[in-house]
């Protein structure tokens, strides 16, 4: 299935993998940092850059218990990193200047309304929000494509979200395998779930990657992921909840190059020599039947007169028994490859 995600890009078979950079909290509540992250995402070759638009009040109950890895409440943590909503049109303009798609994951209805005002090309449902079917329905009614992240989800959760979108007359759906672990240990990734999603749904399938490095994303592309999402930071040593598992700009460049190389390498699946192989290596690097000694004209060929060596200009080795008993049409020098024209 093919889906047009934006004026610039399509997702699906026969289209390049669509690469999304998630800024998350890595803007550090600084607009200039956010602008810079948009810029470097574009310059390093990503297709889209994404914010997360939420408020502490709309996301967490103030009574939510502490997570084990942080000394402050989730409410207080989110309050520290929620970006001003006035940033959205500013960053959309920056993204347009750099020819990169700008989106945000909305976590409430007002966020969707604001993103509609800046005319984002599509929406992204964060993993934890997959169970908020009313919020998903509100996104679906915009008639724009919706990407669903599926961290912490089972198939029933995914089917509920997909059906909600379909019930609102929207079939532009992309599903991302994901793990809600920051960072994700490689043993928890379960890349084969991408294959499960590919066989279970008719929509493009991708991968939202929270592992360290780029190798797992590259593996996902090799098994068919049509979208890759990774976090981006200017410096992984900064303080904040998302920096430590994010890519720095040079790593993003390597990711993009790696994905594009994999796409070129996939080919058409037909097992045959590549034209470049046939230019020289096919003949000079393969073996053929070679004269093991001088063979005078008219001599009847015996097995001891023949050997198999490179290059491959002569008769293929599998025909060596067929040569025995034939005669040399003319003198054949030792070490000369033998062709059918040399024999009678």
Q: How far apart are CA 142 and CA 145, in angstroms?
A: 9
* Beta strands 3-4; 10-11: pairing state: antiparallel
Q: Which of 21-35, 139-153, 270-284, 323-337 has the lowest average pLDDT?
A: 270-284
CA atoms within 13 A on the CB side of 196: 11
pLDDT mean across residues, the chain: 96
* Portions of the chain given CATH number 3.90.1210.10: 275-342
By the 8 A CB rule, do 43 and 98 touch? yes
Sheet containing 146-149: order of strands: 101-106, 48-53, 18-22, 227-231, 205-208, 173-178, 146-149, 123-125
* CATH entry 3.20.20.70 includes domain 7-266: yes
Give the three-class secondary structure for 208: strand
- Res. 66 pLDDT band, cuts 50 70 90: confident
Among 240, 234, 235, which residue's Cα sits nearest to residue 80? 240
In 48-156, beta strands by DSSP E:
48-53, 101-106, 123-125, 146-149
Three-class SS state of 187 = helix
d(CA 190, CA 297): 67
- Of 330, 334, 331, 325, the residue nearest 294 (C-alpha): 334
Phi, psi angle pair for 253, to nearest 5°: -60, -40
Tens digits of per-residue pLDDT, 145-180? 999 999 999 999 999 999 999 999 999 999 999 999
| Residues 67-94 pLDDT 10s | 887 778 888 888 888 999 999 999 999 9
Residues of the chain with CATH 3.20.20.70: 7-266
pTM of the model: 0.90
Q: pLDDT tens across 176-228, in order? A: 999 999 999 999 999 999 999 999 999 999 999 999 999 999 999 999 999 99
Q: Can you name the CATH fold of 275-342?
A: Type Iii Antifreeze Protein Isoform Hplc 12 (3.90.1210)
């Amino acid at each position: 299935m093919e889906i047009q995600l934006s004026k610039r890009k399509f997702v699906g078979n026969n289209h390049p993998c669509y690469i999304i950079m998630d800024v998350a909290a890595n803007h550090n509540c600084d607009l200039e940092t956010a602008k810079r992250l948009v810029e470097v995402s574009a310059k390093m070759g990503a297709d889209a850059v994404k914010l997360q638009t939420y408020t502490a009040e709309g996301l967490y109950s103030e009574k939510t218990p502490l997570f084990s890895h942080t000394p402050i409440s989730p409410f207080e943590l989110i309050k520290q990193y929620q970006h001003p909503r006035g940033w959205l049109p500013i960053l959309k303009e920056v993204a347009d200047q750099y020819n990169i798609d700008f989106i945000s994951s909305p976590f409430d209805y007002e966020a969707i309304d604001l993103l509609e005002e800046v005319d984002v090309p599509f929406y992204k449902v964060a993993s934890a929000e997959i169970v908020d079917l009313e919020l998903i329905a509100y996104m679906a009614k915009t008639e724009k494509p919706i990407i669903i992240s599926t961290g912490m989800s089972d198939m029933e959760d995914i089917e509920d979200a997909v059906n909600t979108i379909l019930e609102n007359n929207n079939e532009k759906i992309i599903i991302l395998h994901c793990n809600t672990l920051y960072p994700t240990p490689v043993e928890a990734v379960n890349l084969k779930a991408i294959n499960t999603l590919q066989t279970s749904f008719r929509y493009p399938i991708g991968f939202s990657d929270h592992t360290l490095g780029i190798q797992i994303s590259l593996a996902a592309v090799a098994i068919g992921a049509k979208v890759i999402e990774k976090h981006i930071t200017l410096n992984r040593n900064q303080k904040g909840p998302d920096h430590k598992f994010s890519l720095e700009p040079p790593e993003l460049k390597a990711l993009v190059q790696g994905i594009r190389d994999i796409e070129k390498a996939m080919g058409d699946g037909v097992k045959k020599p590549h034209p470049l192989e046939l230019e020289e290596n096919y003949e000079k690097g393969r073996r053929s039947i070679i004269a093991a000694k001088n063979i005078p004209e008219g001599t009847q060929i015996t097995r001891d007169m023949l050997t198999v060596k490179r290059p491959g200009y002569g008769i293929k080795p599998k025909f060596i028994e067929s040569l025995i008993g034939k005669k040399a049409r003319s003198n054949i020098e030792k070490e000369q490859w033998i062709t059918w024209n040399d024999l009678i």
